[in-house]
Amino acid sequence: MCGIIGVTGSDDPFGLILDGLTLLEYRGYDSAGVALVTGRELWRRRSAIRGESIGELLRLGPTAPVARAGIGHTRWATHGAPTEHNAHPHVDCTGRVAVVHNGIIENHREIAAKLDAEGHTRTSETDSEVVAHLVEAELASGADLFEAVQRCAKVLRGDFALAFMSADEPEVLVATRRSSPLIVGRTDSIGLVSSDISAVLGTTRELYAIGDDEVAEVRPGSIRIVDAEGSTVDPVPLRVSWGVRAALREGYEDFMSKEIHEQPRALADTLVGRILPEGTTELEELEIPAEELASIGRVIVIACGSSYHAGLAGRAALESWAKVPCTVEIASEFRYRDPVIDASTLVLAISQSGETVDTFHALREAKRRGARTIVLTNVVDSLMAREADGVLYTRAGPEIGVASTKCHTAQIVLLQVFALHLALIRRQLTPEQAAVIGARIASLPGLVERAVGQFDTYRATAEQLAEVNDVFFLGRGHGYPVALEGALKLKELAYVRAEGYPAGEMKHGPISLIDRHAVVVVVATRGALFEKLLANIEEVRARGATVVVLCDEGDEEAGELADIVLEVPAVDEMVAAAVCVVPFQVLAYAIARARGNDVDRPRNLAKVVTVE
Ligand code: F6R
């Protein structure tokens, strides 16, 4: 979603901002813009050509004026269409103050009405523009930019990350945030603001977090941060775990195929040092003492999208190995219920980005109600990592493709490690049982590698399905979260209506949709419910559906019931999800590509979802 970058003290702020915006592209955007301070004037250019806005700005490079500072933005439209006049930066009536904004200003209508009555002229339909006019009013009453932003932030409701500059203070950037992420950085001569670590890594690794309601003043080579009361804050340095190279395509057709292929490595890295040969576990960043974990009465997993499916895939291990009651909840629903939580509840948020606003607020709410909290994320020191009591980091490297692949499988595997860890702390497994389970988890990178090795076979099979319009994905037990994930991937990438359903539930209604036009994909790898699943397959076959069966390699009994077969290496059902999901990733990828879709940036979607 929206991205922010600001630079001061550079000989080429335009170049640095455009490099940053290009790195932020993966978050998803539909327009972009830049403002520079040149002499004592503001120069601003914006573009809203879908998929080409950054390219259009780049072409302006040679005409950009000499400047030392600027701010840039990629916008994912929420309030107002993705047009040039709604693109950021927004300016005030004088054209001397510019602002870029991520998040939502909830009281923007109220503020706009007041500003309109005072005679301000707004030129966009966005919630963001009001902030420029608020600052204009404060400057007119004698404040400098820093003071003006301090005062203005106090009247804003909602989630925001904001960066400002003024033609009257050419080398100063001011930034503030509430809930939305924003960081600042410096070298000896440059100052930076960004919503995303990866956008500024090429310039510096000296980066600092801005806390909620803090205001930062960034000048060439220096940073000053004050809290909401105006007291100076010691900036908290961020740990940076990736290099810039990790975000390159390296010869693959697209990031998604690269990231599918990276799964064995992502899983192996996630497991390094965490499972010892005898089946004991090491989770050092967890930080919650073992005795506290031992006394946990139940676990509530909160997450969205693919991360939610990872939670469902890990639930069986938490219940069966650790014998802890576990529910898995959609974060955007959980947050607005009145959940019963006490100090013995462990709330485990799963979020690849560590920024998803629904999950972040659900996590905060759980903490407010007294739960112990852990976040399982791929981004070190991300917003949620800083919020939760403990952290579990997947080590999948940056995921650029909008559809989660390697982070999803790494989440599943790390959740299984956590379940084993909890089981050992709670003394629910014998050392022998733990050693067997540990060995099974440890074998997953190799098994996933074998599945990924069949990429071309899966792709060729999927191409037979390029014309599908409506697909059911069915599964039971371990196969159900995989079915949900298969359906989500097909929807988001191939734009095909797809539904994930528990196979045993079909007879309670949806089977009336099955006829000879239906395509039904069934996760039929071996497990306790295998026989029952075969009966469910017979039910849809009897109604003429085309049946695609995902089964263990060489499983003739399952294969015989299929029109199309996808095979994966056989694996114990408790840890099978990360292996079984691979062919479905390729299925969605191949159908999407066959239809000419952009697999890295599917329409309407963003990598980091920072709005509710
Ligand atoms: C689907 C996908 C999304 C994310 C969801 C949560 O492929 O990537 O469904 O899983 O938006 O994002 P995170 O995990 O960053 O909280």
Strand positions, DSSP E, 245-368: 298-303, 326-330, 345-351
Residue 199 DSSP SS3: helix
Q: Tokens 């792709």 map to which residue?
A: 459
The CA distance from 394 to 241, in Å, is 12
The minimum-distance atom of ligand 1 relative to the CA of 305 is: 9
- 370 C-alpha to ligand 1 centroid (Å): 26
The CA distance from 390 to 584, in Å, is 32
Q: Beta strand 222-226 with 215-219: parallel, antiparallel or unpaired?
A: antiparallel
**Residue of the CA atom closest to atom 9 of ligand 1:** 305
pLDDT tens digit sequence for 523-536? 999 999 999 999 99
In which band, very low, low, confident or very high, does the pLDDT at 518 lie, cut at 50, 70 and 90? very high
Average pLDDT over residues 266-292: 90
Nearest 10 degrees: CA dihedral of 533, 537, 539, 545?
A: 160
Instruction: Identify which of 260, 301, 306, 330 to mutate to test ligand 1's pocket (most ligand atoms within 8 A of the CB).
Output: 306
Binding site membership of 351 for ligand 1 (Cβ less than 6 Å) = yes
Strand positions, DSSP E, 220-323: 222-226, 236-237, 298-303
pLDDT tens digit sequence for 466-486? 999 999 999 999 999 999 999
The minimum-distance atom of ligand 1 relative to the CA of 303 is: 16
Q: Beta strand 326-330 with 298-303: parallel, antiparallel or unpaired?
A: parallel
* pLDDT score at 271: 93
Cβ burial of 271 (10 Å; 0-12, 13-18, 19+) is: buried
221 DSSP assignment: T
> Which residues on neighbouring strands pair with residue 104, listed in sequence order?
159
Binding site membership of 404 for ligand 1 (Cβ less than 6 Å) = yes
pTM of the model: 0.83
- 608 C-alpha to ligand 1 centroid (Å): 8
Binding site membership of 352 for ligand 1 (Cβ less than 6 Å) = yes
The CA distance from 166 to 158, in Å, is 24
Average pLDDT over residues 161-167: 97
- 362 C-alpha to ligand 1 centroid (Å): 15
Q: What percent of the chain has pLDDT over 90?
A: 82
pLDDT tens digit sequence for 169-182? 999 999 999 988 89
Q: Tokens 């960043």 map to which residue?
A: 285
If you count them, how many residues does the chain have?
612
Residue 12 DSSP SS3: coil
How crowded is the C-beta side of 332, counted as CA atoms within 13 Å?
11
494 DSSP assignment: I
In which band, very low, low, confident or very high, does the pLDDT at 247 lie, cut at 50, 70 and 90? low
The CA distance from 106 to 457, in Å, is 49
Catalytic residue among 2, 152, 326, 580: 2
10 Å Cβ neighbour count for 338? Answer: 6
Q: And the tokens for 559?
A: 């294969």
The minimum-distance atom of ligand 1 relative to the CA of 608 is: 15
Under 8 Å between Cβ of 47 and 89: no
- 312 C-alpha to ligand 1 centroid (Å): 14
* pLDDT score at 149: 98
Binding site membership of 306 for ligand 1 (Cβ less than 6 Å) = yes
Under 8 Å between Cβ of 608 and 353: yes
Binding site membership of 124 for ligand 1 (Cβ less than 6 Å) = no
Helix (H) or strand (E) holding 169: none
The CA distance from 333 to 586, in Å, is 30
Average pLDDT over residues 496-502: 97
Q: And the tokens for 443?
A: 């074998």
H helix intervals, 176-296: 255-261, 263-271, 290-294
Binding site membership of 23 for ligand 1 (Cβ less than 6 Å) = no
Q: Tokens 């004088």 map to which residue?
A: 94
The CA distance from 68 to 59, in Å, is 20
Annotated active-site residue 580? The verdict is: no
Least trusted range by pLDDT, from 25-39, 392-406, 563-577: 25-39
* pLDDT score at 173: 98
pLDDT tens digit sequence for 413-462? 999 999 999 999 999 999 999 999 999 999 999 999 999 999 999 999 99
Predicted confidence (pLDDT) at residue 240 exceeds the cutoff of 90: no
Binding site membership of 610 for ligand 1 (Cβ less than 6 Å) = no
Least Cα distance to 400 among 224, 244, 214 occurs for: 244
The CA distance from 33 to 35, in Å, is 7
Average pLDDT, the chain: 93
Catalytic residue among 258, 406, 489, 607: 607
Instruction: Identify which of 351, 352, 383, 612 to mutate to test ligand 1's pocket (most ligand atoms within 8 A of the CB).
Output: 352
In which band, very low, low, confident or very high, does the pLDDT at 244 lie, cut at 50, 70 and 90? low
Q: Which residues lie closer than 8 Å to 148 by C-beta, 6 or more apart?
A: 135, 138, 139
**Residue of the CA atom closest to atom 16 of ligand 1:** 351
Predicted confidence (pLDDT) at residue 245 exceeds the cutoff of 60: no
In which band, very low, low, confident or very high, does the pLDDT at 243 lie, cut at 50, 70 and 90? low
Annotated active-site residue 258? The verdict is: no
Cβ burial of 160 (10 Å; 0-12, 13-18, 19+) is: buried
> Which residues on neighbouring strands pair with residue 520, listed in sequence order?
472, 547
